[in-house]
Amino acid sequence: MKGKLMLSKILPALRGVLAENHTLPRLVKIETKGDEPVVSITPGSEDVSAEIKQQLPVPQRSVTISGYGTYAAVFPDAGGGRVAGKIAVVTGAAQGFGYEIACSLAREGAWVALADINETGVQQAAAKINHELGREVAVGVAVNVADVGSLRAAVEIVVKLFGGIDLFVSNAGVLRAGSVKTLSERDLNFVTDVNYKGYFLSVQAVAPIMALQNQGAPAIWSDIIQINSKSGLVGSNKNGAYSGSKFGGIGLTQSFALELVEDGIKVNSICPGNFYDGPLWSDPKTGLFKQYLNSGKIPGAKTFDDVKAFYESKVPMRRGCTTPDVMKAIFYLVEQSYETGQALPVTGGQVMLS
């Protein structure tokens, strides 16, 4: 257990030290050849990066960590995509928006850990990505974002497999529509635990990994991006639990951005408009089309199509949000070196910042 826990401190620091040309490598455990430099880490060390640097006077591509094995630095090929070589984690990635975000990141060259409470579903989703791309670039990891122990275990797995985390997409989200007059405390807690507390705990789990990388490579930034909602920018009738959790998420984003900038971490939110094609809206049993229809939120609506038409009529561009729309925002925030603490609308003009 001691060695496993220490890996989450050693490998991200090693990534930073081995960085080349403003790029962090993926770390792969290999068989020891015997000619690699050997680094010893003091138990309980407060500055692992400094210890590694002191013992590696010249740049290296493979290093033996005494007691933990030998790790090789693997760098992306030139021209490999917009996020080539980055290690990304996407929560809520077994299906819907999260899965499509993970697919897009993998196609653009990232190593992707898909994380979801649905363990079987997320492993199948990762296998589907690997099959599509013809190479092992994705892994499925079980996680409950509202549980500290589950998050720590998931982060340990990702670090052990890849060496660290460059991009964390906090996408996991749930919704229970209902009036403030009638919504149950159970439903309120369900929404808040995932959308607000889950975001907070997720950042608490991944930020130390990114900070360790930054100690070794202070010029390289990491990114945390929360997939928020237009309901985090404007209130939502008979949907206060969800909207409130998303407003709170933007407060967390702004606060995290102020604090984590010293660790080379940018923190931003993306606020999409309605994503009708995913299960959040279209699931015939639990989706928002059904919830809004049943709750009477849309006057006169009798079918799912009536609900959809009502919401599309509110959008100047007359359509819902799509994954490509959101991916443009994600890539912008990753590539923009002078943007943190923002809540970026992707709403077709339905919500405009003032």
What is the C-alpha to C-alpha distance for residues 158 and 223, in angstroms, rounded to an integer?
16
- One-letter amino acid of 97: F
Distance spanning both ends of the chain, measured CA to CA: 51
Where do the structural domains in the chain lie, given as residue ranges?
Answer: 1-75, 76-267
pLDDT score of 2: 46
Q: What is the DSSP letter of 178?
A: B
Write out pLDDT tens, residues 168-227. Answer: 999 999 999 889 999 999 999 999 999 999 999 999 999 999 999 999 999 999 999 999
Q: What is the pLDDT of residue 3?
A: 44
Average pLDDT over residues 4-23: 89
pLDDT at 229: 97
In angstroms, how far is CA 282 from the centroid of its own chain? 23
pLDDT for the residue 353: 87
- Mean pLDDT (the chain) is 94
**What order do you get walking across the sheet with 138-142 strand by strand?**
138-142, 111-116, 87-91, 167-170, 222-227, 265-272, 343-346
For the segment 300-330, what is each residue's pLDDT rounded down to a tens digit?
999 999 999 998 999 999 999 999 999 999 9
pLDDT of residue 268: 98
Residue with the larger pLDDT of the pair 221 and 42: 221
pLDDT digit string, tens, across residues 251-308: 999 999 999 999 999 999 999 998 888 777 888 888 888 888 888 888 899 999 999 9
We find that the CATH architecture of domain 76-267 is 3-Layer(aba) Sandwich (3.40)
| Residues across the chain | 354
Distance of CA 237 to the CA centre of its chain: 28
Average pLDDT over residues 341-354: 94
Residue 242 falls in the annotated catalytic set: yes
How many C-beta neighbours within 10 Å does residue 322 have?
A: 17
% residues pLDDT > 90 (the chain): 83
Contacts by residues 240-246 (CB-CB < 8 Å, ≥ 24 positions apart): 240/180, 240/183, 241/176, 241/178, 241/183, 241/187, 241/188, 241/191, 241/192, 242/175, 242/176, 242/177, 242/191, 242/195, 244/192, 245/191, 245/192, 245/195, 245/196, 246/195, 246/271
**pTM more than 0.75:** yes
* Per-residue pLDDT reduced to its tens digit, 140-149: 999 999 999 9
Distance CA 185, CA 50 (A): 49
The catalytically annotated residue of 196, 199, 242, 292 is 242
Is the distance from CB of 268 to CB of 203 less than 8 angstroms?
no
Q: Identify the pLDDT of residue 43.
A: 85
Pairing of strands 69-74, 26-30: antiparallel
Return the pLDDT at 279: 79
Q: What is the pLDDT of residue 312?
A: 92
Q: How confident is the model at residue 160 (pLDDT cuts 50, 70, 90)?
A: very high
pLDDT score, position 5: 44
